[in-house]
Amino acid sequence: MTRQAVTPADLLGRITLLNVVCAKCDRRGRYRIESIIREVGLDGRLTEWFARISADCPRRKAREFSDWCGVHSPDLMRLARGEPSG
């Protein structure tokens, strides 16, 4: 069975801070993995956490798909490619 989502447990021991940015605006932040675990648990889905932390984004309910909020973590792509975070 293929896994469907990245969890905080996947990040333990690999990074201590998760960089989060929006591709559509200048919003950005850095979150400690321990804080994310306290909020969603070890098995919480990061996609759901991204939606929660960006819930107040005005682009969340944009009419056009191309204007939707672009919250993501560039660290996740680097880790998937085996590159060091940072």
Task: Give the model confidence (pLDDT) of 13-63 as tens digits.
Answer: 999 999 999 887 888 999 999 999 999 999 999 999 998 988 888 777 666
Residue whose structure tokens are 């905080």? 8
Binned at pLDDT 50, 70 and 90, residue 1 comes out as very low
Report helix angle 46-53 to 33-40, nearest 10. 90
First to last CA, the chain: 31
CA distance 47 to 43: 12
Whether this model's pTM surpasses 0.85: no
Q: Which residue has the tokens 């293929």?
A: 2
